Amino acid sequence: MLNQEDENDKRRSHQHNEILGTFEEIYGNKTTIDVENIFEKCKDQTKKALVLGRAGIGKSTFCQYVTYRWAKGEIWRQYELVILIRLRSLTQSRYSSEKKYLPIDLVEKEYFEVDDISDEMRQNFKEQCNKGRVLWILDGYDAFAQNIPEQLKGVFQHICETQHHILTSRPYAITLAYDTKMEITGFTDENIAKYIQQFFDQITVESINALSSGPKLQKFLKSNPSIWGIAHIPVNLELICSLWSSYDWSKTTVLTMTQLYSTITEWLCRRYLTRQNKKSEDMTKQGVYRKCNTELRFLEQLAFNAMQRKEIMLPPELLEETEIEVDCSLDDYPQLLNMGILKSYDDKPIGHLPLLLFYTIIEVRTGTGKITHTCSIINSGLLIYVSYIYRPVILSILPGTILAIFGWLTYCNVTKLHSTQRRCSFQRGLTSMVLLQTIVVMIPIIPFAIINIYQVVTSSIVKSDYRLSQEQLVYTVANIILYVSYASNFYVYLISASSYRKDFRRLVLFCYRQNHASNRIGIMAREQVVMKTNSTVK
């Protein structure tokens, strides 16, 4: 037994290391390099370097850092000018499609939007570019590559082919060929320890326990490999430190990625409510989610739509589509996009990829909040039809109403006939059949209709798992009774009408006689064959 458990532990550990793309795996396959030596491996006369990095790893911070060090004269003194261009800002709305742009036009638009650049400055800039004295730092190709404006393709290609430059991007988005490729791998183990110490040193004044929180957090991270891996990403470590200072983790021994992102969501919701001047300190987790229910439903649907389109820069039409699907107007919730999940730039929100994936998983789930391995409806239009029309109307209200109306009309008509003439036994049987069938079908339809209408009315309420389980049980029982009622007509006819019972008995006897006659014909045919065979032999 012990050997089996050890083997299982080894297998789980191996699978854990294979699945998780942690920092240790990435960092171990690379050698470190100082930023001032970034161009040493460039063989071409035009220095080009591609710097890769995952979401939140610090690519934009790297660009600002090297620009700052150049401005202080610490690195790259061979360049007269270093230009930092955030590629996310090169959008269709900011650059007219009627103009052909040059490199100097990008500088003017990004840094001298109010003032005009003189012809002398333009000529001097052109000369510096031709001499190779200008270094371009192009930040964020992954967002820019999704939708490059047609009028900027030429100038971007010109800079990439003829100018010294550094291009940053997420690894999955790059299709350009570069001889020199580098990757920002994030914090080292020593960086994590130093960052945690500095973080809690700054809040020691606000909290007495902050001084001892740093070492506890380091110990906790190292005991949770999946969280330790993502903690090497600066933005994730900042979130983890903020959560650690806001929550009591003393009783938590194991933390998964799902639990972490769920806690991040709760923390962001509480901060969002605080900005709305709503107190959330005394609220439970479910209470916080209940207050932010509309906002969370919007973000879940938005994340799902973004993943379907394979976009992290969310265009206005995607926001409008999501508003319609969840019936949530951004005019009524103007601060929704500022919860911390999205970053706005040039009126286009940019999604944080790991959280978008997390909210997409939340969106594709069952009503109990559990991830399901069964088929589910993901088309929003079909889901609205099933929830608001098919189940409560077509399966519940409509058949019950029609049966009630026609049952009543049948009863009235039969009563009228009874007052004018004597009914025969067949008419009496038919009347009993119709009335009894109406009652039998109405009994299961009423609870089924009630539970469906109840689910529609309470669909916007955040419910506990226990309540959801109760509702699911009631719905399943009502559903089974409804389907069983479809087979009840046969038994209703047998019970209510003697003429129907006689006809059914005749049918059974007829089938029996037919089968019996078939058997007799088969025997006679076999005897004839035998007789012919004997005659032939004689």
Please check whether residue 360 is in contact with residue 321, taking contact to mean a CB–CB distance below 8 angstroms.
no
Give the model's pLDDT for residue 330: 80
Q: pLDDT, tens digit, for every residue of 284-308?
A: 888 888 888 888 888 888 877 877 7
What are the percentages of helix, strand and coil residues in the chain, rounded to 5? Answer: 65, 5, 30
Q: pLDDT, tens digit, for every residue of 468-516?
A: 788 888 888 888 888 777 777 777 777 776 777 787 888 888 887 766 5
Alpha carbon 346 to chain centroid, angstroms: 24
Q: Which of 320-324, 334-338, 344-348, 391-395 has the least mean pLDDT?
A: 344-348
For residues 411 and 406, what is the distance between their CA atoms, to the nearest angstrom? 8
Give the model's pLDDT for residue 525: 42
Token pair in block for residue 220: 């906790």
Instruction: Please report, rounded to a whole number, the percentage of residues in the chain having pLDDT higher than 70.
Output: 75
Packed helices 210-222 and 189-202: angle between N→C axes, nearest 10 degrees: 150
More confident of the two residues 373 and 149: 149
**Domain extents in the chain:** 23-183, 380-496
pLDDT at 62 over 90: yes
Question: pLDDT-based confidence at 95, cuts 50/70/90?
Answer: very high
Report strand pairing: 348-351 vs 342-345: antiparallel
Q: Which of 188-202, 290-304, 332-346 has the least mean pLDDT?
A: 332-346
For residues 433 and 493, what is the distance between their CA atoms, to the nearest angstrom? 6
Give the model's pLDDT for residue 376: 55
Q: Which of 7-16, 190-199, 388-397 has the least mean pLDDT?
A: 7-16
Place of tokens 């600066």: 234
- On average, the pLDDT of the chain sits at 77
pLDDT at 46 over 70: yes
Q: pLDDT, tens digit, for every residue of 407-449?
A: 778 777 766 765 555 556 666 666 777 777 777 778 888 888 8
C-alpha closest to that of 140 among 234, 58, 60, 48: 60
Give the model's pLDDT for residue 86: 94
In CATH terms, is domain 23-183 a member of 3.40.50.300? yes
